[in-house]
Amino acid sequence: MSLLPMTENFTPLAEALRPKSIGELVGQTHLFGEGKPLALAFQSGKPHSMILWGPPGVGKTTIARLAATTFDCEFIPLSAVLAGVKEIRQAVEMAENNLQQFNRHTILFVDEIHRFNKAQQDALLPFVESGLVSFIGATTENPSFEVNSALLSRSQVYVLQSLRESELLELLHKAKEHLFQDIEIDAAAQQALINLADGDGRRFLNLLEQVHQAAQLSKAQVITEDFLNNCLGSSQRRFDKAGDYFYDQISALHKSVRGSNPDAALYWFCRMIDGGADAKYLARRIVRMAWEDIGLADPRAMQLANDAATTYERLGSPEGELALAEALIYLAAAPKSNAAYKAYNQAKAFVAADKTRDVPVHLRNAPTKLMKELGHGKEYRYAHDEPHAYAAGETYLPEGIADPHWYQATDRGLEIKIREKMAFLKSLDDAKKKE
């Protein structure tokens, strides 16, 4: 039971401005514009199960509530954080009662559906399949990974987008009518609030509410950027340290380096640092980039990446971040080769699929007299004693394996020299065969 009186004064701004109709909805025009998927679905008059996937504060709960209103259905909300199978059963009983007594269909809304385990998600299936309820799930995580395939196949997935700057300004105008009749927000402060919200409408409204309360207490008539800095303190942008948004940004960083774009690499690195990403994790990824995408085209890249990671360990943040940034610039500008990476993967796949083959006798170790008598190591040619320190025509693979040529040096960076060297050695092998 709440200790606060349920009066209008205690209604959060985000709740007070929650749209009562589709026409009041801000954002998601790609879904609700004329002829768009959800606009058509709402016009049909027939509810269907759906999953709303998108970042926080973009209207997932609002759309679910509007669906109940539009389709004239009962609305039962559950939070996957707090609810379990027991609560699902109770919701189903309520849905059955709504149908039997009032002839009303029920929309069952599960917020953060990705928090439900397999058993909990499975508990929903019979009632979604029977049509007793129309299921609407909301998630910030990729439903392909977080929602059971059976439930996913019975639901239409709609992807929601972060609110654009113009849409946040629209929310600002609505908030002004509700709260800021006597208080002005200058242009710089408006932009700062938009930047802090980072596409999250609910966060934007919460910030506005916080600013309004501070302005009332200080009797400020104009809200400036300095006023914001004083009343809000430091505030980080939205950053998901474990979900899709995190891995999307990591992917963008890696691909920017691979694509030889230092500026883009710096942008994604700074985005992640600004959002609170673990710099040690980024350091490990930078080392990985050096080995995977630069490889033997520039072996200095591995050393520089390792040195940058070590520097960060010694200096910490923020000083150590410069070393990581410089390593990224070097990696992005360096010649690229994944030849060694591909060769390793090919060799690994071959060995995994191949039978166990004996080591050729001439390559075997011969530490004992018996082994020598058995011929171990016999006829082995010591490369250092051969011309060019190379035993031309010698074989090193097990019998029955032709030279697979997994490693193919590129014509970039140091691999130019490696390629020339391998071509020269091959010519020695060819000459030996002709003898």
Mind listing the pLDDT tens digit of every residue in the chain (435 residues)?
334 444 445 678 888 888 888 888 998 999 998 899 999 999 888 899 999 998 888 999 999 999 999 999 999 999 888 888 888 889 889 999 988 888 899 999 999 998 888 888 888 888 888 888 899 999 988 888 888 888 888 889 999 999 999 999 999 988 888 777 778 888 888 888 888 888 899 999 988 888 888 888 888 888 888 888 888 765 555 555 555 677 888 999 999 999 999 999 999 999 888 878 889 999 999 999 999 999 999 999 999 999 999 999 999 888 999 999 999 999 999 999 999 999 999 999 999 998 888 888 888 887 777 777 677 777 788 889 889 888 888 888 888 888 899 999 999 999 999 999 999 988 998 888 887
The partner residues of 111 in beta bridges, in order of sequence, read: 79, 138
Burial of 204 (0-12, 13-18, 19+ CB in 10 A): buried
Q: How far is CA 256 from the centre of its chain?
A: 15
pLDDT score recorded for residue 234: 57
Q: How far apart are CA 9 and CA 4, in angstroms?
A: 10
The SS3 of residue 21 is coil
Positive or negative CA dihedral for 52, 57, 59, 64? positive
Statement: the pTM of the whole predicted model exceeds 0.95: no
Give the whole-angstrom CA distance, residue 35 versus residue 25.
16
Asked if residue 37 lies in contact with residue 51, where contact means CB atoms within 8 angstroms, the answer is no
| pLDDT value of position 1 | 34
CB distance 21 to 126 below 8 Å: no
**In the structure encoding, which two tokens stand for residue 172, read together?**
């600002």
- Rounded to whole angstroms, the Cα distance separating 238 from 11 reads 24
* Strand pairing report for 106-111 and 133-139: parallel
pLDDT of residue 2: 39
Query: Is the bond into 404 cis (omega within 30 degrees of 0)?
Result: no
Left, alpha or beta for 157 (phi > 0: left; psi -120 to 50: alpha)? beta
Query: Could you say which DSSP state residue 413 is in?
Result: T
Q: What is the pLDDT of residue 370?
A: 73
Residue-range domains of the chain with CATH? 28-159 (3.40.50.300), 165-232 (1.10.8.60), 244-333 (1.20.272.10), 356-434 (no CATH)
And the tokens for 57? 């504060």
**Helix/strand/coil percent split, the chain, to 5:** 60, 5, 35
Residue ranges of alpha helices (H) inside 220-338 are 225-232, 244-258, 262-274, 279-289, 300-315, 319-333
Handedness of CA 145, 150, 153, 157 (dihedral sign): negative
Q: How much is the pLDDT for 383?
A: 86
Q: List Cα–Cα distances, 204 to 22, 198, 326, 330, 406, in angstroms.
A: 20, 8, 35, 38, 54
Q: Burial of 142 by CB count in 10 Å (0-12 exposed, 13-18 middle, 19+ buried)?
A: middle
